[in-house]
Structure 1
Amino acid sequence: MSRWIMQDTSNMTDVAYQAYSLQGVSRTFALTIPQLPEKLRLQVGNAYLLCRICDTIEDEASLDIVQKENFSGDFIRVVDGELSPEGFAATLSGSLTDTTPEAERDLIRNVHRVIRLTHGFTPTQRRFIGDCVREMAAGMIHYQKRQSLDGLRDVAELYDYCYYVAGVVGVMLTKLFCDYSQEIAKNREQLLELAVSFGRGLQITNILKDIWEDRQRGACWLPRDVFSPCAFELQTIPDHRNDGCYLAGMENLIAITLLHLRNALRYTLSIPPEEKGIRRFCFWALGMALLTLRKINRHRNFRSGQEVKISHLSVKATIAATELVVGGNQRAQWLFDVVEKGLPHDFSLPTP
């Protein structure tokens, strides 16, 4: 996929702008979303951009927590059709600094185009997407207020955090998938339960990969209970990357993440084999997360996310391997078992 370059988009249709913006804010999703059935691509791409706007508000360093809470509340009203997107965009754009990537600033300036598409979806689709954005925005603010280098209280709080930043997306996608296909809807309850776990697996992988980059922003999303046997606090982990207790804590978190990625596989295999587009979408996300987890496991004392970022070759390998297994459950299970070899399976948490 070519590198995103800032363009004059004034003559683009809203649909074309959405595709352009997706490539700028997430090359991964720009790659995976087109794999979905045509009747889902626009809705899923649109939902992703709305969630990215929540992220942009959360990540802008110049905004204090009151401003973030106000912008998040206003954005929910924009999605619900209660507030002008143009006015919201003008105010938020004026508050963003160069620390926010140019592609995200461009997205904020063009919120009205994204929202026009949102408001053109069916009432059911709009409800699913709106519920997701509402929960995500509220959850992000909740955890922004608690953000520190002290980490999260325990694994239960880690799961709660992951629900708001990733699980809600899995729930929304599942509802859209079930609305699209009566065959998929037959497994609705099981899929909704597994969707939350799928989101946890992807998000904890990202948390582990981004430990050091998050610290630069004053955040640590590691659970303190996993590291409670250690003679150091999470605030001081840069000085203890090679400490046996830190490495053991990382091993536990890798094992916990793998448990959820196994549930991600169960989710994917519960999608009917004939829905190859949806399965491909899920397999790609799962495969890239599993390969990232393998790199983290091999380099538990890594110092930068770049050290454990998977290569373009690994991405291509994931895509190629998916084509071999996308239509069959047994082959997919076998491939997962092969790739997960060497990862820790057992974990233990201190008794409260």
Structure 2
Amino acid sequence: MAFLDWVLHPTELWAAFWYVMRHAPPDEKTVKLQVSGDMKRCYDFLEMTSRSFAAVIQELNPKLRDGICLFYLILRGLDTIEDDMTIPGAKKRDLLESFHKIIYQDGWSFKESGPDEKDALLLVEFEVVISEFKRLPDEFQEIIADITKRMGSGMAKYTRSRVESMEDYNEYCHFVAGLVGHGLSRLFSESGLEDKSVGENLELANSMGLFLQKTNITRDINEDVIDGRCFWPKAIWSKYAGSEETLISKSNRENGMKALNEMCANALSHIPDVIEYLSSIREPSVFRFCAIPQTMAIATIALCYNNSRVLDDNVKIRKGEALKLIAASTDLDNIKRIFYRYLETIEDKNSPDCWTFEEVRKIVDKAKKDIATTLKGGPPVDFTKEYLAIILFFVTLFTFIYQYNASGF
């Protein structure tokens, strides 16, 4: 199946080739970054916990690179505690609410993670993160500690509460992702690489985080319900099912699809803010850092919309598709073209029998119109490139076979 994917999407194979050529192995990266000791170990943890974020973080301007690496690892540690269902509730809340103090405690580590917690080693060796965090400029430390405090408090709240209303849903997503957007935006401005307005317009920064988080929550419904939790707001799923388990049941598939499409529509509503935020970013490495996750999100929502597989499994975009998005996320015009293309994909999938047909049609039409009116050269039309690449691939293949046979070997 993987080979067939490459054959049917040869431009993704080309993108994968260039990605491999551009990105050195992890050990070579850290040597190139000229880091050693605890900071080198921090970059090792960055590679272990997020291969996708690791690449873009290590390509950031040196004024931001270490600070955002440590910001990511601190929040990953916090998130690892929140996700660990083996930690008793009271103890988990205490850890979450005090984590902003823990990051100043020399030598602190946590060895009580559950056996299935994939990022447990980060908490076991967390003293290296603390050591390097305390070396950051005071202004960076204050921003990171503030976001950690607010996020930990919000996470602790939702260990007791369920996501019931749409207000709960937006608040939860703000705590776990919108605040990340706040912190990053403030760090961008504090570094001097971006205008002060980037760190002040936190509503747009919040939307950046919400679009990513809502995409992940929408996609992960099957995995989450199996693990005994659900972050889809009850205000949505209760209209279509009596329980979370019934929501993903094959016997309730038509109603489950209605709930899925409503979740997708809610995520899509953040697109105007995402485009506006990205239009305010000037430094190239910061732009790529911000833009790449957003392109992954729009591709994922396009994959999830009206797709029954989401209720049965954890669907993901193809690796080649992801690498192609990484390669293309270089400037605002390219990002607009990517969004426009996936909006067209959603439009094609949005049949009149979809429960959310009118809502999604309005969101997609407006977003496409806004993009088309500001895009240099007008709306993109590049689907033919993939088909031309497929034709070229097969012409080359058959030419090779013909010459091979003609040579008499």
> Which of the numbers 143, 149, 154 marks the counterpart of 2:158?
143
1:45 and 1:221 map into 2 onto residues whose CA distance is: 27
What is the RMSD of the two structures over their aligned residues, measured on CA atoms? 2.5
Structure 1 counterpart of 2:323, one-letter code: K
Question: When the two structures are superposed, what TM-score results if normalisation uses the length of structure 1?
Answer: 0.84
Structure 1 residue 74, shift from structure 2 partner: 4.2
Distance, in Å, in 1 between the alignment partners of 2:154 and 2:124 is 24
Q: Cα deviations across residues 55-76 of structure 1 (Å, max 9, x unaligned)?
A: 1111222211111122224432
TM-score, with structure 2 as normaliser:
0.73
Q: Determine if the alignment matches structure 1 residue 297 to structure 2 residue 305.
A: yes
Contact 2:248 2:256 in 1 (8 A): no
Alignment: residue pair count: 322
For the residues of structure 2 that align with 1:230 and 1:320, how far apart are their CA atoms? 40
**How many Å separate the matches in 1 of 2:239 and 2:86?**
36
Instruction: Provide, for residues 268-295 of structure 1, a one-character-per-residue CA deviation record: whole Å limited to 9, x for no partner.
Output: 11112xx111111111101111111111
**8 Å CA contact retained: 1:35, 1:280:** no
1:251-266 to structure 2, matched below 5 A, reads: 251-266=261-276
Tell which deviates more after alignment, 259-268 or 295-304.
Answer: 295-304
Larger Rg: 2
* Superposition pairs of residues 1-352 of structure 1, within 5 angstroms: 13-79=37-103, 81=104, 84-86=105-107, 88-89=108-109, 92-93=110-111, 95-101=112-118, 104-147=119-162, 152-181=163-192, 183-190=194-201, 192-230=202-240, 232-239=242-249, 243-272=253-282, 275-306=283-314, 308-323=315-330, 326=331, 329-343=332-346, 347=359
CA distance in 1, matches of 2:25, 2:137: 33
Does the 8 A contact of 2:57 with 2:69 survive in 1? Answer: yes
- The answer on whether the counterparts of 1:22 and 1:30 sit within 8 Å (CA) in structure 2 is yes
- Give how far 1:346 is off: 5.0
What's the offset of the Cα at 1:187? 4.3
1:3 & 1:157 partners in 2: Cα distance?
A: 42
CA separation of 1:3 and 1:35: change in aligned 2, threshold 3 A: closer
**1:320 aligns to what SS in structure 2?**
helix
| Mean CA deviation greater in 126-135 or 33-42 | 33-42
2:32 matched residue in structure 1: none
Preserved CA contact (<8 Å) 2:256 2:311: no
Q: Which letter does structure 1 place at the counterpart of 2:141?
A: R
Q: CA deviation at 1:298?
A: 4.8
Alpha-carbon displacement from aligned partner over 1:225-268 (angstroms, at most 9, x marks no partner): 22344353334213257533321221121121112133222211
